[in-house]
A = this chain, B = another copy of it.
Amino acid sequence: MAELRQNVVTREWVIINPERTKRPHQFAGKKPVETQLPMSEPECPFCVGNEHLTVNESFKISEGGNWRVRVVGNKFPAVESTGERVRKIDGIYRSMSAVGFHEVIIEHPLHNMTMALMPDEHVADILTAYRERYREIRWDERVESIIIFKNHGETAGTSLVHPHSQLVATPVVPSQIRNRMEEAMRYFDDTGECVCCRTIKDEINAGERIVYENENFVAFIPYAALSPFHTWIFPRRHSSSFDETTDLEIRDLARCLRAVLAKLHYGLNNPDFNYSIRSVPTRELHVEYFHWYFTLVPRVTKTAGFEIGSGMYVNSALPEQSAEFLRNVVVP
C-alpha cells in the first residue's frame, strides 16, 4: 500500500509507491565498464605522467615515491580562490563575488579503478585527503560552507572517467543547509536531543533499514528515502563536522563506504551515483543539535516535473526492501 513518509531530519515528505512489477534487482544499470578501460590514457590529466596538466596541487599521499591520492585545483572552478568576498545589494538583486575553493581529489593512479573495487586502506587515504583539505580550508575567512561530493558515471554528471571527487567551499551558507539547521535546532529545543542521534538509535533498534554497521559507523536507507537505494552513512559518535573525524574513525568509515559501494556495484551492476558529505557551516563548531553525514544517491530513476514543482519525491521502492536487498548482496 502506498504511503507518504516524512523524513524527520530534512522534514521532506516522500511518496513511497513501490512498483509492484519491479523487483530491486530490476533497477540495475549498465554492466561494469571501468575495468574494461585501459589502465592509463595518454590524454587524461589525472593519469600518472600527466601531473603537469593539473594545477595548484594542495595535498598528496605517496608511498615509495609514487602518489596514491592527489588533490589539485579544478581547471574550470565554480568559485575562485583569489579575491575578496564582496556583497552587492541593489533592491531585490543580491549578489556576491564567487570566491572560495574548488578542488579535485584524484582518488587513484589507475584510470580504470573504481572505489567499490579498491582496498579499504586506499579508500581511507581518499577520506583522509577530504579531511585534511576540509581542516585547512575551514579557517579561510571567506568560506561559510564546505561540500565534498562525487559524481560516478555519466547520468550522475561526470565528465572525466578517471576516478575523482570534488570539494567546493562557498562564501555563503546554502539556503537548504540553513533550513535544515533551523529545523534541527528546533528539534533540539523541543526535545534536548540531536535529531540525527535519535534517528541513528531508532534505526539501529528497528534494524530493517540497516545496510551495514561497524563499530563507529552505520549505513541505512532512510525511512523516507528519496529514491531506491538512497543511503545515509552516519558516525555513531555525535559530531557536527566531517573534519572532527579521527584517524581510527576514518578507517571504519572507509570500511563502511567501501562495503556500501561494493554492494551497489555487485548488486546493481555498477550504477551511476552521487554522494556528498554534509556538515554544519564552517563557523559553527561542535554544535549539539546536528550531525555530519554522507548521503548517497544511486541514479537509478529520473527526477521530473513533479519533483521540480513541489520539492517532493516519488520513490518507487520500499526502503525496507531496498535495504534487505543490499544487506543480502555478497561481495566477492
Contact = CB atoms under 8 A, between A and B. Distances in A.
A5 B171 CA distance: 11
A12 interface: yes
B2 A91 contact: no
Contacts of A5: 93-96
A302 B98 CA distance: 21
Nearest to A98: B2
Interface in A156-195: 156-158, 165-166, 168, 170-172, 174-177, 179, 195
Interface stretch (A45-53, A59-67, A76-84, A126-134): A76-84
B304 A92 contact: no
Given A13-B174, A202-B92, A2 B308 contact: no
A276 interface: yes
Contacts of A172: 4, 6, 13
B176 A311 contact: yes
A204 interface: no
Nearest to A179: B179
Range of interface residues on chain A? 35 or more
Given A168-B306, A223-B93, A312 B6 contact: no
Contacts of A310: 145, 147, 168, 170, 174, 176-177, 276
A54 interface: no
A176 to B, nearest CB: 3
A19 B93 CA distance: 22
A302 B295 CA distance: 18
B80 A2 contact: yes
Interface in A1-46: 1-6, 8, 10-13, 15-17, 19
Interface in A86-130: 91-98
Nearest to A90: B202
A96 to B, nearest CB: 4
Interface string A284-296: 0000000000010
A322 interface: no
Nearest to A92: B8
Given A175-B12, A176-B312, A6 B95 contact: yes
Given A79-B15, A295-B309, A305-B275, A4 B171 contact: yes
A149 interface: yes
- Select the residue from A16, A95, A166 with max chain B CB neighbours within 10 A: A95
Given A92-B8, A93-B223, A308-B274, A314 B78 contact: yes
Interface in A214-241: 223
Contacts of A309: 147-149, 274, 276-278, 295
Closest A-B pairs by Cβ, 4 of them: A276-B309, A176-B311, A157-B304, A149-B305
Interface of A: 1-6, 8, 10-13, 15-17, 19, 76, 78-80, 91-98, 145, 147-151, 155-158, 165-166, 168, 170-172, 174-177, 179, 195, 198-199, 202, 223, 274-278, 295, 297, 302-306, 308-312, 314
